[in-house]
Structure 1
């Protein structure tokens, strides 16, 4: 495990313990009746923190020092927690935190090259040139990706459609496509009906989805 990945793992774990409602679950404090849906609800903060550190250090692996990698990974560990909370609030369809891990921290890692690179980095006397080049690259790739993806999904929405019924959303597409759950404890619906009790639904994270599924049934 790289220095960046290591500190990407440590930072969110410490954040969850310090803010948690209990040492076993480590839930951040939330209003009564609703639990935070971070990475997602459960103990995936640690692997996603490590992935965030890996995503962040990828661009600069050959150019930064071990100390720089620790800083980049530590920042990634904080960013992944904040980003997941943000995308949850704006209702982005990202149940496993992929945008926060790869999008946010991939961007941070690319920009961090302009800060921490031993040759040309801002913190090593290289000025703003390399940081500007990295920022331009991030902007160009982001514009292309958002535009192309938006166009493809718009065409799919107008033709074959891109949504499944709410009941299938609640169960998870892994159940419908592959016949097995991907995240034990985060699925609901027909599993309870067939007696798979260990996969009992956890509806506190998405009450609005549960309500919508009930209405459609």
Structure 2
């Protein structure tokens, strides 16, 4: 790896790692003041645990020799004792994707989850779902090889994680929301963000880090600076789709509620980032703008589903990440440069994108549901009602997010 690729790879790894604290801020601002420590700790807990598991055996599981293998051998280089320096740069970059995928799920169970139960779930989900799915999508597995399997002229497109990260996390979030049930007093308008500036800070950090998320592979895998590098396209699409999604979300908010909110702008930005993730290298900038608007509009409407369907996805992981990931993944079937239905291709790209999206979604949901119910029925996943009312922070962690001086 040359010095330019190496420098950008390390920088991109740091950017994506910083996204998980960004998630912590974003989620932390959205919950009650008595739950902010608990909410942020679930992100930091995932950061600690998933990093260790990835180094021990997760990376080994993330590549397969046969398209129909479930995952790689976790013990093939346990602890990465035999990996060279260039390989380890890629390992570190891959770790950051595993971490944030798990951390994203936690938003669905805000205000009511036990930390220990969450950590058990996080370790099992990473092992049984994220590590294998990463192999399926990027490591030579069935998703990666689906076009060749069908004899198509194209392959599944998921540049940076529409399926492996966002659909994966969103489906698992829906499963856990079902397992843990509704918060006390669950109804529209009752649970409001306790710290809006924290939400905006988190969204800004996520957007900042997302340039490593989307463009990082260009250096990590030795592509930066070559004649066919798409890094410029990736960067402008990451700006454009996100900006357009903010506008789309705010328009819907204004029409529905009469006001465009700052939390709506932050949520719209995240929805745009989610949608452009799989598509960042395969859309022209104009089509990325359209994708952003579509994602902002549809996700702003999708977050209302929990009220209609009765599942308490506390921080709208389903409405933003599952729906946004599906939009970005399926959109490529129509507008991917050269292979999309409307841009020179046929139905092949649509078929591939749909099978990949549904396959990952169903697998993630089923396994997360089983894991969640198993934990709930054994050690318990949800805190006691009295602890939820008193505040998860003091009950679970013995801390408060805000130590306010008593008035004399």
Query: 1:178-193 alignment to 2 at 5 Å?
Result: 179-180=399-400
Tell me the CA shift for residue 91 of structure 1: 2.5
The answer to whether the aligner puts 1:130 opposite 2:349 as a matched pair is yes
Aligned to 1:59: 278
SS in structure 2 of the partner of residue 2 of structure 1: helix
Greater shift in the superposed pair: 85-94 or 4-13: 85-94
Cα distance 1:177–1:7, how it changes in 2: closer, same or farther (>3 A)?
farther
Normalising by structure 2, report the TM-score.
0.38
Aligned to 1:108: 327
**Residues in 1 aligned to 2:394 and 2:306: alpha-carbon distance in whole angstroms:** 25
Aligned to 2:263: 44
Cα distance 1:65–1:55, how it changes in 2: closer, same or farther (>3 A)?
same
Query: 1:119-198 alignment to 2 at 5 Å?
Result: 119-170=338-389, 173-174=392-393, 176-177=395-396, 179-180=399-400
Q: Given that residues 120 and 127 in structure 1 are in contact (C-alpha distance below 8 angstroms), is that contact kept between their aligned partners in structure 2?
A: yes
Write out per-residue CA displacement over residues 4-28 of structure 1, whole angstroms, 9 at most, x where no aligned residue: 111111111122223334x5xx5xx
The partner residue of 1:19 within 227, 235, 256 is 256
Number of equivalent positions:
168
Instruction: Compare the two structures and name the one with the higher helix fraction.
Output: 2
Aligned to 2:306: 87
Q: Which blocks of at least 5 consecutive residues in structure 2 are unaligned?
A: 1-237
| CA RMSD, Structure 1 to Structure 2 (Å) | 2.5
Write out per-residue CA displacement over residues 190-217 of structure 1, whole angstroms, 9 at most, x where no aligned residue: x9xx989xxxxxxxxxxxxxxxxxxxxx
Cα distance 1:90–1:180, how it changes in 2: closer, same or farther (>3 A)?
farther
Write out per-residue CA displacement over residues 139-166 of structure 1, whole angstroms, 9 at most, x where no aligned residue: 1101110111011012112111222233
Tell me the CA shift for residue 125 of structure 1: 2.5
SS in structure 2 of the partner of residue 122 of structure 1: coil
Cα distance 1:118–1:141, how it changes in 2: closer, same or farther (>3 A)?
same
SS in structure 2 of the partner of residue 96 of structure 1: coil
Cα distance 1:175–1:56, how it changes in 2: closer, same or farther (>3 A)?
farther
Q: Given that residues 175 and 181 in structure 1 are in contact (C-alpha distance below 8 angstroms), is that contact kept between their aligned partners in structure 2?
A: no
Write out per-residue CA displacement over residues 91-139 of structure 1, whole angstroms, 9 at most, x where no aligned residue: 2222221111111100110111111111210111201101100000001
Task: Tell which has more relative contact order, 1 or 2 (C-alpha 8 A, sep 6+).
Answer: 2
Tell me the CA shift for residue 70 of structure 1: 0.6
The partner residue of 1:9 within 212, 235, 246 is 246
